[in-house]
Amino acid sequence: MLPLLFAAATGVLSAWGVGGGTLLLVCMTLFLGVDHREAQAVNLLFFLPTAALGLFFHRKNGFLDRDAFRETALPGAAASLAGALIAAAVDVAVLRRPFGLFLLYSGASMLWSARKKE
Amino acid sequence: MVVLPLLTKWSGLDPRCAFATCVAAIFPMCCVSAAVAVWTVRPGWALIWPYLLGGAAGGLIGGLTYQKIPVRLLKAVFGAFLLYGGVRYLLW
């Protein structure tokens, strides 16, 4: 029952585009005792029906920007493939610090912009 | 973590459209990654199905409620999530 509830709660966040998948990964490994590699695989599968249903309504409500999708989806897929190849060739620990700093900067600026009213 | 800041900062997309388009942009990447993960890890069906079912329910609820959620709340949740990710990458 717990996996179902965790998946439903984080599925809502995933459909909103606010990182539900990562939260589910943390819940699975820390609270449900799932092996990390299995959790990652299940996490990727979990995103497919979650995103498909969320996207159905986003499209219906006119929230999808086709140009931005075209500009990001293909380079994103190519970058993820390149990332997988790079990760296999270099010490990933080298990349952790600059990426962490990038996330801190993005998070701080996102929270800063959240202060402004819509 | 990467696509959304790109969409909001550099593409100048409306925040509500950016969050939704981000889900669409990540979808093909996840299809490829999921196929590779299933092929290499082969998780059991008994482990997978509660997450697929729960995720589908969450996706349905998330899609239906999305336009009622204030953009400020979306930004605050995602901003906190990015900070958490940043700290995690720097410390572990």
Query: pLDDT class for B52, splitting at 50, 70, 90?
Result: very high
| CA gap B76, A38 in Å, rounded | 30
Helix, strand and coil in chain A, % to nearest 5: 80, 0, 20
Return the beta strands (E) in chain B as ranges.
none
> In this complex, do B55 and A52 lie within 8 Å of one another by their Cβ atoms?
no
pLDDT mean across residues, chain A: 82
Contacts of A72 in chain B (CB under 8 A): 3, 6-7, 21, 25
pTM: 0.77
When mean pLDDT is compared across A18-32, A45-59, A83-97, the lowest value belongs to: A83-97
Q: What is the pLDDT of residue A117?
A: 57
Residue A65 CB neighbours (<10 A): 20
The pair of three-digit structure tokens given for residue A105, joined into one six-digit string: 């900067």
* Secondary structure (DSSP) of A42-73: HHHHHHHHHHHHHHHHHHHTT---HHHHHHHH
Q: Are A81 and B34 in contact (CB under 8 A)?
A: no
Contacts of B36 in chain A (CB under 8 A): 84
B91 has pLDDT over 70: yes
Residue B22 amino acid letter:
C
Q: Are A62 and B66 in contact (CB under 8 A)?
A: no
Residues A58 and A8 in one domain: yes
Residues in chain B: 92
- Number of CB pairs < 8 Å for A and B? 287
Q: Are A28 and A42 in contact (CB under 8 A)?
A: yes
Task: Give the residue-averaged pLDDT of B66-72.
Answer: 85
Task: Give the residue-averaged pLDDT of B55-64.
Answer: 93
Domain, as residue range, for B32? 3-91
Q: Are A7 and B58 in contact (CB under 8 A)?
A: yes
Task: Give the residue-averaged pLDDT of B43-69.
Answer: 92
Indicate the residue of B18, B60, B86 with minimum beta-carbon distance to A103.
B86
3-state SS class at A104? helix
| CA gap B26, A25 in Å, rounded | 17
- Total structural domains within chain B: 1
More confidently predicted of A29 and B7: A29
Residues A74 and A117 in one domain: yes
Residues of B (14-43) whose Cβ lies below 8 Å from A: 16-34, 36-38, 40-41, 43
When mean pLDDT is compared across A51-60, A69-78, A79-88, B12-21, the lowest value belongs to: A79-88
Q: Are B61 and A8 in contact (CB under 8 A)?
A: yes
Q: What is the pLDDT of residues A1-19, one digit of tens each?
A: 899 999 999 999 888 887 7
Residues A26 and A70 in one domain: no
The pair of three-digit structure tokens given for residue A36, joined into one six-digit string: 């990390």
> In this complex, do A73 and B41 lie within 8 Å of one another by their Cβ atoms?
no
Residues A48 and A72 in one domain: no
> In this complex, do B66 and A15 lie within 8 Å of one another by their Cβ atoms?
yes
Residues A43 and A4 in one domain: yes
Q: What is the pLDDT of residues A34-45, one digit of tens each?
A: 887 788 889 889
Q: Which of A64, A81, A98 is the last residue of a domain?
A: A64
Q: Which of A21, A46, A64 is the last residue of a domain?
A: A64
Biggest alpha carbon–alpha carbon distance for chain A: 45
Q: What is the pLDDT of residue B4?
A: 72
Q: Which of B57, B4, B33, B64 is nearest to A65 (CA)?
A: B4
Q: What is the pLDDT of residue A85?
A: 64
Query: pLDDT class for A88, splitting at 50, 70, 90?
Result: low
Question: To the nearest whole angstrom, how far is the Cα of B10 from the nearest Cα of chain A?
Answer: 11
Indicate the residue of A10, A40, A57 with minimum beta-carbon distance to B63.
A57
Residues A13 and A29 in one domain: yes
| CA gap B32, A30 in Å, rounded | 26
| CA gap A3, B5 in Å, rounded | 30
Q: What is the pLDDT of residues A65-80, one digit of tens each?
A: 888 888 888 887 777 7
More confidently predicted of A27 and B6: A27
The pair of three-digit structure tokens given for residue B37, joined into one six-digit string: 């993960």
- Total structural domains within chain A: 2
In chain A, the percentage of residues whose pLDDT exceeds 70 is 86
When mean pLDDT is compared across A33-47, A94-108, B64-78, the lowest value belongs to: A94-108
Domain, as residue range, for A49? 1-64
Indicate the residue of A5, A64, A110 with minimum beta-carbon distance to B20.
A64
